[in-house]
Amino acid sequence: MSTVSPSLKDLPKVASSLKSELEGFNTTCMKKAETAEKNVLPSAEDVRQERQHSDLIHGVETFKSDRLKHAEMKEKIILPNAKDVAAEKTQQTLIAGIEAFDTARLKHTKTEEKNPLPDKDVIQQEKGKQQLISGIENFNHKNLKPAQTQEKNSLPTKEAIAAEKVSA
């Protein structure tokens, strides 16, 4: 390739203010930077996979079907045994019976809802239990008066000791 400089008339026109600014630019103010060229080439594994894929495609495209051997296909039909047939007949009979069922033969019934509520005595007992429990839970022990316990141990009299000795 030959590098020929373009003629002056082929160069693009630049505004004079921009041209003076470009001519007065100080390149020493610029930071130094290294240019790293990155040329990403496929790895050996990528090349191997691509070659394997293209070989596979080529093999499919150039395959000759006249080299195939003829094979006989044998279909085996497995018939159900007597147990399976009987189960299916029973199921079909049930389904037919349900579909043919006459709902007009049904008797009319009246549904009574029973809600056994407790009588007054049971309610009163429950209220009494609840009041007792709340009384115990809410009892104020600060209303109690202090008490002193006196232990009295009465000794037996002389007559009681003598009567006990005689009976023993």
pLDDT of residue 1: 52
Distance CA 76, CA 79 (A): 9
pLDDT of residue 91: 95
Instruction: Express as a percent the part of the chain with pLDDT over 90.
Output: 27
Instruction: Report the predicted TM-score, pTM, of the whole model to 2 decimal places.
Output: 0.24
pLDDT in tens, 69-93: 888 888 888 888 999 999 999 999 9
Token reading at 31: 């930071």
pLDDT of residue 15: 81
pLDDT of residue 47: 92
User: In this structure, is the dihedral angle defined by the CA atoms of residues 21, 23, 29 and 33, taken in order, positive or negative?
Assistant: positive
pLDDT of residue 77: 84
Residues 6+ apart with CB under 8 A from 42: 50
Token reading at 30: 């610029």
Q: Which residues of the chain have pLDDT under 50?
A: none
Determine contact, residues 126/118, Cβ cutoff 8 Å. Answer: yes
pLDDT of residue 2: 57
Token reading at 129: 């239990």
Determine contact, residues 124/132, Cβ cutoff 8 Å. Answer: no
Residue among 131, 111, 135, 115 at smallest CA distance from 123: 131
pLDDT of residue 89: 95
pLDDT of residue 42: 86
